[in-house]
Protein backbone atom coordinates (compact mmCIF):
# COMPACT_ATOMS: atom_id res chain seq x y z
CA UNK A 1 0.00 0.00 0.00
CA UNK A 2 1.18 3.50 -0.72
CA UNK A 3 -0.11 6.35 1.43
CA UNK A 4 0.02 10.16 1.48
CA UNK A 5 -0.08 12.14 4.73
CA UNK A 6 -0.54 15.80 5.59
CA UNK A 7 2.81 16.76 7.14
CA UNK A 8 1.21 19.45 9.32
CA UNK A 9 -1.12 17.10 11.22
CA UNK A 10 -0.17 13.53 10.16
CA UNK A 11 -3.68 12.94 8.77
CA UNK A 12 -3.86 10.33 6.00
CA UNK A 13 -4.97 12.08 2.81
CA UNK A 14 -4.95 9.21 0.34
CA UNK A 15 -3.96 5.59 -0.13
CA UNK A 16 -3.72 3.05 -2.93
CA UNK A 17 -3.40 -0.70 -2.57
CA UNK A 18 -0.56 -1.84 -4.79
CA UNK A 19 -1.04 -4.98 -6.95
CA UNK A 20 2.26 -6.32 -5.56
CA UNK A 21 4.78 -4.82 -3.17
CA UNK A 22 7.28 -2.16 -4.16
CA UNK A 23 10.86 -2.38 -2.95
CA UNK A 24 12.10 0.91 -4.39
CA UNK A 25 11.46 4.48 -3.30
CA UNK A 26 8.84 6.49 -5.19
CA UNK A 27 9.91 9.15 -7.67
CA UNK A 28 8.26 12.56 -7.86
CA UNK A 29 8.63 14.70 -10.96
CA UNK A 30 6.97 17.70 -12.57
CA UNK A 31 5.94 18.38 -16.17
CA UNK A 32 4.42 21.73 -17.20
CA UNK A 33 3.65 22.60 -13.57
CA UNK A 34 1.82 19.32 -12.77
CA UNK A 35 3.39 16.92 -10.25
CA UNK A 36 3.48 13.15 -10.66
CA UNK A 37 4.33 10.29 -8.33
CA UNK A 38 5.85 7.22 -9.99
CA UNK A 39 6.27 3.83 -8.29
CA UNK A 40 7.28 0.35 -9.38
CA UNK A 41 5.45 -2.76 -8.18
CA UNK A 42 7.68 -5.71 -8.94
CA UNK A 43 6.51 -8.18 -6.27
CA UNK A 44 8.33 -11.47 -5.93
CA UNK A 45 9.42 -13.35 -2.79
CA UNK A 46 9.47 -11.39 0.45
CA UNK A 47 10.32 -12.84 3.85
CA UNK A 48 7.79 -10.80 5.83
CA UNK A 49 4.84 -11.08 3.43
CA UNK A 50 5.35 -14.58 2.06
CA UNK A 51 5.55 -15.44 -1.61
CA UNK A 52 3.88 -13.01 -3.98
CA UNK A 53 3.49 -13.10 -7.71
CA UNK A 54 6.18 -11.23 -9.62
CA UNK A 55 5.17 -8.26 -11.73
CA UNK A 56 6.60 -5.61 -14.02
CA UNK A 57 4.03 -2.94 -13.14
CA UNK A 58 4.82 0.76 -13.20
CA UNK A 59 2.22 3.11 -11.74
CA UNK A 60 2.05 6.91 -12.11
CA UNK A 61 -0.29 9.16 -10.13
CA UNK A 62 -0.88 12.84 -10.78
CA UNK A 63 -0.85 15.11 -7.74
CA UNK A 64 -3.39 17.93 -7.34
31-44 pLDDT tens trace: 999 999 999 887 76
Calculate the dihedral angle through the C-alpha atoms of 53, 22, 47, 15, rounding to the nearest 10 degrees: -100
pLDDT of residue 7: 92
Candidates 60, 2, 1; CA nearest to 34 is 60
Pairing assessment for the beta strands 34-43 and 54-63 based on DSSP bridges:
antiparallel
Q: pLDDT tens across 4-59, in order?
A: 899 999 999 999 988 877 778 889 999 999 999 999 887 765 555 555 566 678 89
pLDDT of residue 31: 93
d(CA 38, CA 23): 13
pLDDT of residue 9: 97
Amino acid sequence: MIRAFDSSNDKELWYYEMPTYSSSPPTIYQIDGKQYLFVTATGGPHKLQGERESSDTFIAFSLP
